[in-house]
């Protein structure tokens, strides 16, 4: 077992940006279905693009529209909200709330000049590893076609 305290070294955090355009996408995954679906994709070791960084929430219903706006404000090129399939929500109806909020937030984003396709809501169950890979790949490809997003600006006081 190797144990050591790491040395301070120059940081190379822009590895993803060394390529022409690598989108930065924030993915909100519910703990019970879509996060488990991502684990399933991992267990089957099916590769997919690395551009989506996952934030685990207990339920897609926890995803506050301000998280989506904040992600675009901080420079995200896309945001994903993945939920349990209709009728499968671990918390009965959190996925429906998430869907309602998504419908609202994409209209708001449109007003800010952010293409609705940059904020995707989808369903992935715990068993759907293949579907997770497909949804991830689709999203990254969509954002690659759209190009970098214009960051949302802070409201002017």
Partner 1 sequence: MKIGLYICHCGTNITASVDAEKVAAAIAAEFPQSYCANVEFICSDEGKTFFKNHLLEQQPDRVVVAACSPREYENTFMQILAEVGINPYFLQFVNIREQVAWVTPDPIQATGKATIAIRAAMARVQLQQPLHKQEVEANPSVLVIGAGPAGIQCAQYLAEAGRKVVLVEKTAALGGKPVLFEELFPTMECGPCLLEPVQAEILHGNHAHNIEILLLSQVEEVNGYFGNFTAKIKRSPRYIDNSCIGCGMCVEACPASIANDFNCGMNDRKAIDMPFLGALPNIPFIDPRACMHIQGDSCQLCLESCPVPEAILFDDKEEIIERKVGAIVIATGATLYDCRQAPELGYGQVPGVYTSLEFERLAAANGPTAGEIKNSDGKAPECVSIVHCVGSLDRKHQPHCSGICCEYALKFNRIVEHKLPGTKVVHFYKELVVPGKESFTMLEHARSNPHAQFIRCKDIANVKVTASDGIPQIAYQDIDGNAGSLKSDMVVLCPAMVGGEDSGSIGKLMDLDRNSAGFFEELNGKLHSAQSKVKGIYIAGSCQAPMNIRETASQSMAAAGYILSALVEGKKLVVEPITASVNEEQCSGCRVCGSVCPYNAISYLPESHTSSVNALLCHGCGTCVAACPSGAMRGNHFTDDQILAEIEAILQ
Which positions touch partner 1 (CB under 8 A)?
Answer: 1-13, 15-16, 24, 26, 31, 35-36, 38-39, 41-43, 45-48, 50, 53-59, 61-67, 70-71, 74-76, 87, 90-94, 97, 101, 133
Angstrom distance (rounded) from CA 19 to CA 87: 41
CB of residue 13 vs partner 1: minimum separation in angstroms? 6
Q: Which segments of the chain does DSSP mark as H helices, in order?
A: 34-43, 65-73, 94-111, 129-146
Task: Give φ, ψ of 78 to 5 degrees.
Answer: -165, 160
CB of residue 142 vs partner 1: minimum separation in angstroms? 19
CB of residue 156 vs partner 1: minimum separation in angstroms? 21
CB of residue 1 vs partner 1: minimum separation in angstroms? 5
Angstrom distance (rounded) from CA 20 to CA 150: 17
Compare residues 92 and 107 and give the one whose CB is closer to partner 1: 92
Give the number of C-alpha atoms closer than 13 A to the C-alpha of residue 154, restricted to the C-beta side: 2
Angstrom distance (rounded) from CA 110 to CA 118: 10
């Amino acid at each position: 077992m190797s144990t050591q305290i790491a040395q301070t070294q120059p940081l190379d955090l822009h590895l993803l940006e060394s390529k022409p355009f690598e989108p930065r996408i924030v993915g909100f995954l519910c703990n019970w279905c879509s996060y488990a679906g991502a684990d399933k994709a991992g267990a089957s070791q099916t590769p997919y693009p690395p551009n989506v960084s996952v934030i685990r929430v207990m339920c897609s219903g926890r995803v506050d529209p301000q998280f989506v706006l904040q992600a675009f404000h901080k420079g995200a090129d896309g945001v994903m909200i993945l939920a349990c399939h209709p009728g499968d929500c671990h918390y009965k109806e959190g996925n429906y709330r998430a869907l309602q909020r998504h419908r609202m937030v994409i209209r708001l984003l449109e007003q800010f000049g952010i293409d609705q396709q940059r904020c995707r809501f989808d369903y992935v169950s715990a068993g759907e590893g293949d579907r997770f890979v497909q949804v991830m790949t689709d999203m990254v490809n969509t954002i690659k076609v759209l190009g970098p997003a214009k960051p949302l600006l802070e409201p002017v006081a």
